[in-house]
Structures are given as C-alpha cells and as structure tokens.
Amino acid sequence: MKFPPNDTSRNGTQSQQQEEKRRVGLVYDERMCKHATPKAKGEPHPENPDRIRAVWDKLESVGITQRCVVFKAKEVEDKYIAAVHSKSHINLIKTISCNKTVSQRKKVAAKYDSIYFNEGSSESAYLAAGSVLEVAEQVAKGELNSAFAIVRPPGHHAEKSEPMGFCLFNNVAIAASFLLEQKKLGIKKILIVDWDVHHGNATQKMFWKDSRVLSFSVHRHENGSFYPGGDDGSHTMVGEGPGLGYNINVPWENAHCDEADYIAVWDHILIPVAKEFNADIILISAGFDAAIGDPLGSCCVTPHGFSILLKKLMEFSKGKIVMALEGGYNLDSLANSVLACMEVLLEDAPIDESYEVYPFESTWRVIKDVREKLSSFWPILAKKLPKTLTHRLKPLHEIYSSQSEDEDDVVPNASLKRRKRQNSPVQNSLSIKGKRQKALDTDDSEDVEDPQTRKVLKMKKMSNAELAGKLDVDCVSAMTEAARRLCGMENEVDVYRDHIRQLKDKVAEDNGIIEKQNIAIQEGEKRLQQVLNSEKELKDKLLAERVQNDAQIKELKEEQDKVMTANNHMASEIAARDKTLTIKEREIEVLKQQLANLEAKGKEADARGTDCAYCRLLAKLDRLRYVGQAVFMTQHVVGQWWFPAIFSGDMTNGSGGSRRCFLGIWQKPLVVNVKKFVCFMGICKA
C-alpha cells in the first residue's frame, strides 16, 4: 500500500503540524455492497448495503475522508483464511456465488443460522477479510497510527466450519492470526475488544487456548436467551489450557444499558486487565448495534459514549488500534457513532469523559461476578469494589423536565442524553434536598459539591438582566433539546411498533410451527404405539421359542447322558480288551522265547556236525525256517518213526493231510523211540 508524500511546498509550520497529526487509515469499497438479499417484497434485511453507504456518506459530508489515508479493499488469500477456517468452509464461500443458482443458494443458506447468499457474496466476503488484514498489517508496521475498516459482511459470528449470524468469514480473527504468524511484524500479544451487542462466539472459540490473544466481549446475554444464545457468552467461559484466563465475557442481564454501564465495565474490568496484558496492538470488533435506537440491540449507548470507550483504549499499545465494522442497524446511530470514533482516532479534540448517569444495579452485580471469576488469573481484579455503589434500580424510560429539582445538568457534549438520576433509597433524595437548602441559606457556592445546588447559587448572585439572559438561553436550549428528544422518541416508537409487529408475525409463525409439531407428535405417538405392539408380539414369540428351545436342550442333554454312558461302557470294554491284548502279547513273547531257545538248540546241533540223520534233517529244516518267518509244528512220518519237526510253509503228514500252525506247537500223542527223541532234542552226539 502506498501513501501520499508530504507536501513540501507548504511552510515549515504547516509541515510540522501535518507530521504531528496521526495517520489514520480508512477502507471503503463499493464492491462490498454487492452482497445483498435477493429482491423480495417487504422490508430490507437488517444487514444490507445501505449500512456502509450511510457511514461513508456521513464521513465524507464532514470532511473526515479527506483527512485520512483512504484506499480500496483487496481480497484476502486462502492461506490466511485457512488459519482460522476449515477447507470446506473456504470452498463454500468461494464457490457459492458462481457455481450455484438462486434456488440452490437459498437451499444452502437455509442450512445455516441467519445467513443469505447472492451472486456478490463471495467477492464481498473476501474483500471484507482482506481489508481488515491489510490495515492491520499497516498499523503493525507503523505506517499507520490506527485505522477503521468499513466492511461488510461482518465476521465475529462466523465459526470455523460454518457461516452464522450475517457473518461469512471472521475478519478480525483472520487479521489477528496473520499478525501473530508474521514474526517480522513483532506482534506477540493482541487485545481483541468486541463491543457488539451480540456475543462474539466464533472469535472466542478460535483463540480459546491461545494466551497470545486476550479476547474481551461485552454483550447482552440474559442467561443465554439473547442471540446467539447458549452458555458460550457466560462469564464462566474463561478459556482453556494455555488460554485459561485470556477470555473475558461481560454478559448483560437486561436491555437498555448505556454508556454508564459500559464505562463502569471499562474502568473496573477491561482497563486494569489491559494494563497487565500490555498488548502490542488492539483489534476492535466495532459493532454499533448497542447504539441508541438500534432495532436489534435495544441498548442506549450514544455516539459520545462510544468515543469515551475508544478514548480509554487509546492509552494502550501506543494507540495502535484497528477497528473493523461488525453490527449496527440503525443507519443514523451507526453513522454518527462511527464519526465519533473517527474523531477520536484523529484526535480532533479532547473528550469530556464526565457523565451524570449511573449504571444499573445488575451491571454492578455482573462486574462483581466477572472480577471474582477472573481474580485468580488477574490479581489486580481481586481488589474489592466499594461497598456502596450508586446505581439505577431498573431500566426506566427517559424523563426530561427543566422544572425538576432532581434533574441533572446538561453535559458538555450535546449527544449525551439527559436522564433523571435515581438514587436508590428515598432517604438519599431527601438528604440531598436538605443539603441544597442548607447551602442556599449559607450562600456559599464554592463549598457545595452538588452541581444543581451550585448552579442555583450562581444564579442567585446574577443581576436581573444577566439572569433573564441566562434563562432565555437555557429555555431555548432546553426546548431545542426537548424537540430533538421528542423526534428521537417518535422514531423509537416507530421502531418499537415495527418490532412489535414483527414479534406478532413471529408469534403467528411460531403458533403454526407449534401446531405442526403437535400433529407430528400425535403421529409419532401412533407410530410409537405400533412399535410397542410389535415389540410385545416379538417378546411373546421369543418367549415361546425360548420354551421350545429349553425342551430341545433338555432332550439333547438326556441323549448326551446316554451317549456318555455308552462311551463309558465302551471305554471299559476297550480297557478289558487292552488288558487281554497285553496278556496275549506276553504269551507271544513267551512263545518267541521258546522259539529262540529251539533255534539256539538247532544251531547248537548244527555246530556239533553230527552224522545223525535226524540231526541233519533238523538242520535242513532249521534253515528252511528262516525263509518263511513262520513257525509250525507238524507230524511227519519218515519210515516207521514219528517225530515233531519245525517247518516253514505248508507240509503234509504221512497220511496225505495238510496242516498249518502260526507261532504255535501242534502235537499228537505217539510212542517215540527214546533214542530218536533224544537225538531230536539235540542230546545225541552220534
């Protein structure tokens, strides 16, 4: 961004005066007016292009724009948006204007809370975020002392992954994240002040765990019933992890709060904490829907009140303040409030911070609660407030009367409204009247603290001519002020009447919704009864199946017992057979031993080499035994002699019969010659 060079043609005094003036940036771009609701019958949407046009026209009409560094907006880059918004959210805002039809945009907008889209929404959102980021960078570099970004759509409701509450991108959060990431700028700590009448829910969440950003929001809350609703705006929401204690909420319990309430919060909460935090730069989410006459805010802060709030913040961060427009829907109040703030940024004239109205009783209660909650994080807030605090008991309509004895004197700035001051106990009022009477009797105006009594004493000392002139001036001023107030009240009545009509329409709409919901509930009850009946039938069916299954399980158990009994018998039989088999194996071993003995005897006979025919025959038979690997006992007749022999295979007896014997000895009684038997047994040595 380039700035105009200093005019060297002027004399030295003029150049020096120009250098001493603050360099204030101002952003405005007509392209941001392209974001608007689709044309439809009825009243325009509160967040419409006329908002920034009214501000610009006001500043231009009084010559503010000629005294500022004015430049057009430029679009923000996606990489900077991605620091606080999700990729899906960026794609939604980027493509909603070019890739969708009107009906498609309406369907998409209906998914979100208080959002509309048109063909200019994407460009406007990118320009708004880019404008705030640009002036924030210039102020951080020192090229500007401060700046005001007249942008729309607003941003402090835009969540990480969805637009909300007229907001598409969170402009201030994007700028804050950018300043922290650009290490060369030297910004290590940022104070974000959100004085919009609605809670800055999204900004709070984006820096919930960040100790580099102190987020402060003062807003209507009313136990979560005021937009955006819920507990996010409660004074108990103080951050988490590293950000614990760096999120401050001041939630109003009622409407009609004015500068007295806001200044009390500044003096007893924000200013002490700001001194301790010592931010490098201050970003203000400057919503002016808390201004007097705003149709959505229903608060009563005057333009002079906003100037006091800003002036108190100018004492910090070397005056490096960036203001970004958020809400504000009464065009006159919006334009006048921005003008008052621009005069503070330009340091046109000293600001009279005196006021003669008091905060609500509920305001002091909220201040005490907030200080108590934050005292463990900010010890400066642990100090006790005075026990006796002057306050208004409840919101009252404004009462003006030049005859009233208790009426406050007019404050120096005409924009600060008169208000009938109400001290809480009646006895206090009587006490003040007594003091005034005593002062009038003594005629000593210098020692009187009460401004009204002092004024009366001064008037007593005037001559008749001076008194008449003074009264004429006061009467004219009072009548002018009363007329101006009357016009303002008429405008407020019109606003309230329209608001009541909108509420009636809303009630009728809600009644229709309730009726539909009742019908839906009845249908749901019918469906629920059907489901219950079906469930009962299913339970009965399951119970019958369970009884049947139990019977089957019982039968299976009986069969299983039978099978187990049979298995036990079979196991016993197997054990008996195994025992028998063991015995047989032992018998076989005995037979094998006997066979081995016989073999040994045969070998022994063979070794003796006997000429005994029987022995030689036995030797031959013994050799035959090794071929078949089977043992047989048989009868064989050789001539007239019978003898037992060992054979392999099938043999025949003398009578032609065939006999087979496995591992056994087959014998037949016969009369054997002793000598031959002895020869057979291997005893014979012949």
By annotation, the residues acting in catalysis are: 157
List the structure tokens of 475.
Answer: 């009467």
Nearest to 164, CA basis, from 131, 204, 133: 204
d(CA 535, CA 538): 5
d(CA 368, CA 363): 9
List the structure tokens of 418.
Answer: 């008169």
Q: What's the chain's length in residues?
A: 686
CA dihedral 137, 142, 148, 153 (to 10 degrees): 0
Q: How far is CA 452 from CA 318, 404, 458, in A?
A: 39, 10, 10
**CB proximity list for 321: less than 8 A, separation 6 or greater:** 139, 146, 147, 281, 282, 283, 284, 310, 313, 314, 345
d(CA 622, CA 616): 10
> Cβ distance 136 to 178 under 8 Å?
yes
Q: Which residues pair with 634 in a beta bridge?
A: 645
Q: Is the dihedral of CA 648, 653, 658, 662 positive or negative?
A: negative
Please, what's the b/e burial string for 579-607 (b: 16 or more CB within 10 A of its CB; e: otherwise)?
Answer: eeeeeeeeeeeeeeeeeeebeebbeebbe
**CB proximity list for 582: less than 8 A, separation 6 or greater:** none
Nearest to 193, CA basis, from 154, 248, 138, 263: 248
Helices then strands, each counted (H, E), the chain? 18, 12
Nearest to 246, CA basis, from 84, 383, 374, 382: 374
